Amino acid sequence: MVRCLEEAVTIESPSLSKPHVDRMARFFAGRLREQGGKVRVLSHSTAGSSVSAEFWGNKRRAKPILLLGHLDTVWDVGTLARMPFRVRGGRAYGPGIYDMKSGLVCGLWALRALRATGVEPASPVHFFLNSDEETSSLAFRQELLAAARQARAVLVLEPAAAGGALKTSRKGVGEFRITVHGRSAHAGVNPGAGVNAISELARQIRRIETFARPRRGLTVTVAMIEGGTRPNVVPERASARIDVRIPRLSDGETIEAKFRRLQPFHPEARLTIEGGINRPPLERAMARDLFRLAQRLAHELGMEIDEASTGGGSDGNFTAALGIPTLDGLGGVGDGAHARHEHVVIRELPRRAALLAALIARL
């Protein structure tokens, strides 16, 4: 498993580099074919390729189990030069190793385990490896949703939460951009002739921050602002980008409506509101039964598994919103997603593959 993981990590695959993600897709397509899968590489004109693979597909009357992962990482090409793959103290390090190449390797080894033990699942198994999850899953979203609609359950190979916990809920994710259009003027000669876009934006930010309900997990974070041209010019344009996280699907309509109703304080200012909720939440109800099964199977394997909630989104958010039972966090155990200390605990890799294989077999 470690050798396969090293090969995967040393193929850099940043979301926005099509040639690199294409290479990553070819790598995993080859490994899936080695396990007897019926594999298709899905190409895209601008984004990297995704991979679809089917196993035990002769059981056509049964709905498949969907294993879901992504090929892309947040790390730019060249990161390996300063963050090379290495093994130290029972841990393996490298860009993308935790999020989420270790999960893909665990998925491969779960299939190997089933084949090696002669256990044939009651349902077909469909592997879908997305190419742009880190940038909102736009290129192959329809293909992903189509695969999910056919499935009876979705097992997401994203990394585990702290301590190896499975992820039974995730917040929905949204991004809004508010742009203020004012009027420029000389800041010293006739400032009153202008409409200060930055001042208007500041007042809007104060209003927007009241939309948050942090005690129940609804957060609104003004993450980027820009505006103005020179110190002696009343700024005619300013904008802000706002990150929104929602715990419940119904929160999406509410928060979007609040943004759409924003009106300027200054009578001569004008607002443009863009964006919205782009990833629905994974609510615990969609993971509850699968988690209970996983917990029982883990106990049979001599493991104890907890559950956790996270503010980050995954492609499991989309499948859960369709009403498909979805369990997340079945990948590697470690820490440091999107950080320089990104790593996985090596001894946990076969344990996670075993748990995943048991889930597939029992479902």
Ranges of each domain in the chain = 2-170+282-362, 172-279
- CA pair distance 224, 267, nearest whole angstrom: 25
Q: Is 107:28 a contact under the CB 8 Å cutoff?
A: no
103 contact partners, CB below 8 Å, separation of at least 6: 69, 157, 158, 159, 330, 331, 332
Q: Residue 206: what pLDDT?
A: 98
Q: Is 287:326 a contact under the CB 8 Å cutoff?
A: yes
CATH number of 2-170+282-362: 3.40.630.10
Q: Residue 47: what pLDDT?
A: 98
Q: Residue 334: what pLDDT?
A: 98
Q: Residue 182: what pLDDT?
A: 98
- CA pair distance 121, 110, nearest whole angstrom: 12
Residue 177: strand pairing partners: 241, 274
Q: Residue 59: what pLDDT?
A: 67
Q: Residue 58: what pLDDT?
A: 77
Q: Where do the DSSP E strands lie in the chain?
A: 38-42, 50-55, 65-70, 86-88, 91-93, 125-130, 153-156, 166-170, 172-181, 185-186, 219-227, 233-234, 237-246, 270-279, 307-310, 326-327, 334-335, 343-345
Helix (H) or strand (E) holding 257: helix 249-260
pTM: predicted TM-score of the whole model, two decimal places: 0.92
Ordered per-residue pLDDT tens for the chain, 363 residues: 999 999 999 999 999 999 999 999 999 999 999 999 999 999 999 999 999 999 998 766 789 999 999 999 999 999 999 999 999 999 999 999 999 999 999 999 999 999 999 999 999 999 999 999 999 999 999 999 999 999 999 999 999 999 999 999 999 999 999 999 999 999 999 999 999 999 999 999 999 999 999 999 999 999 999 999 999 999 999 999 999 999 999 999 999 999 999 999 999 999 999 999 999 999 999 999 999 999 999 999 999 999 999 999 999 999 999 999 999 999 999 999 999 999 999 999 999 999 999 999 999
Q: Residue 60: what pLDDT?
A: 63
- CA pair distance 157, 253, nearest whole angstrom: 29
Q: Residue 61: what pLDDT?
A: 75
Q: Residue 235: phi, psi to the nearest 5?
A: -70, 135
CATH number of 172-279: 3.30.70.360
Q: Residue 326: what pLDDT?
A: 98
